[in-house]
Amino acid sequence: MVELSLKARRGSFHLDIECRLAAPWTVVFGPSGAGKSTLLRLIAGLDRLARPDSGHIAIQDQLVSDTITGTHLRPGKREVGLVAQQPALFPHLSVAENAAYGLTDISRQARAQRVSDMLELVGAASLADRSPRALSGGEAQRIALARALAPMPRLLLLDEPLSALDAEARDQILTRLQNWLSERAIQTILVTHDAADALATQAEVVVLREGKLAALGPAAEVLSAEHKRLKARLNIG
């Protein structure tokens, strides 16, 4: 469970959110500039200013950031994986070395096995020896996903992570990923500005507008207006 009580000002933008995200798969939906990515970066502890102005963030009942007690765990200590639209692969390391970067406390053999499993999961097993420079956008995003999953985070944050893939490949990977994550009880928060992504899952949906929480609940309920708009656009009854 992720508990958020955040107030953060970044220039003229205000983020003001208070909620508990308990579902295994939560979709954060909202238009561009609603504060979705800022929210994920605050949870990961990566925001440029790193800390919210006031409030706290708890992951599985552990406070990772709290302005009252001055708690602020550094990103690597939060056990959080983040995959953003921009894959940010280390260009001087091979695909396999990228995937292994977060694996430091396990044996060489276990590391190799984990990397192989992760690359298999994202359908990129054949790319292990390639350089990131030789990858397409979609391939790079898959590797970034494998790299984030390899250390087995307790919370996975996905910021439109497969945007460079076509819809069919994206749905395939997401379905496989959802099963894999639910087997391991890894909670996931997926950011999207595409209502179809949110409606395609049985997820809990958080709607953000101008940095504020506009709605929280099941996708079909919260996004009913979006649902009708999409149906009308596709001329479906």
- Closest among 17, 25, 44, 24 to 190, alpha carbons compared: 25
Interaction of residue 82 with another protein, rule CB under 8 A: yes
Sole binder of another protein in the list 1, 13, 62, 74 (CB under 8 A): 74
In the bound complex, what is the minimum distance in angstroms from residue 205's beta carbon to another protein? 25
User: For residues 187 and 177, what is the distance between their CA atoms, to the nearest angstrom?
Assistant: 12
How far apart CA 232 and CA 237 sit, in angstroms, is 7
Tell me which H or E stretch contains 218: strand 212-218
Distance CA 125, CA 20 (A): 37
The rounded distance, in Å, linking the Cα atoms of 17 and 153 is 24
Tell me the torsion sign for CA atoms 210, 144, 102, 182: positive
Binding mask 129-148 for another protein (x = CB under 8 A): ---xx-xxx--x---x--xx
Question: CB of residue 48 vs another protein: minimum separation in angstroms?
Answer: 9
- The residue within the footprint of another protein, chosen from 58, 63, 88, 152 (CB under 8 A), is 88
Q: Does 110 help bind another protein (rule: CB under 8 A)?
A: no
Is 89 among the residues that bind another protein (CB under 8 A)? yes
* The binder of another protein chosen from 80, 146, 177, 190 (CB under 8 A): 80
Contacting residues toward another protein, per CB under 8 A: 44, 46, 50, 74-77, 80-82, 84, 86, 88-92, 101-102, 104, 132-133, 135-137, 140, 144, 147-148, 151, 164
